[in-house]
Amino acid sequence: MKRVIHTDKAPKAIGPYSQAIQNNGTLYISGQIPVNPETGKIAETIEEQTEQVMQNIGAILKEAGYTFADVVKSTCLLSDMSNFKPMNEVYAKYYSVDPPARAAFAVKGLPMNVMVEIETIAVK
């Protein structure tokens, strides 16, 4: 059964989509950008932006009753592949054991001109 997941501890959707959808034990988290949900501000460095994205993902996982250990797939979108290494260093802190499958792409542009967006799939 489809269930919409929403938390005030992650940024509100800025379009016609949900923060996440849970269906039959699988959680699909929409791409998260580095907006601080309390201030609405975006950090400046790629490291700070990645940290905020991971915190946003963590808040949604928690709201749905999942953890980072339940994540099976991530897709990382970067404004520039030169940001891959610093993004990866922050990302790795959240997946130190049995990291999920992942793809990473450079894209022409991201919402609000951020440097990173990450979408996530978790399974219980």
Pair 80, 115: CB distance under 8 Å = yes
Fold (topology level) of 3-123:
60s Ribosomal Protein L30; Chain: A; (3.30.1330)
Q: pLDDT, tens digit, for every residue of 43-84?
A: 999 999 999 999 999 999 999 999 999 999 999 999 999 999
pLDDT more than 90, % of the chain: 97
Give residue for tokens 């034990």. Answer: 25
Backbone phi, then psi, for 78, in 5-degree steps? -120, 145
Q: What is the pLDDT of residue 11?
A: 95
Q: pLDDT, tens digit, for every residue of 111-124?
A: 999 999 999 999 99
Q: Where are the domains of the chain?
A: 3-123
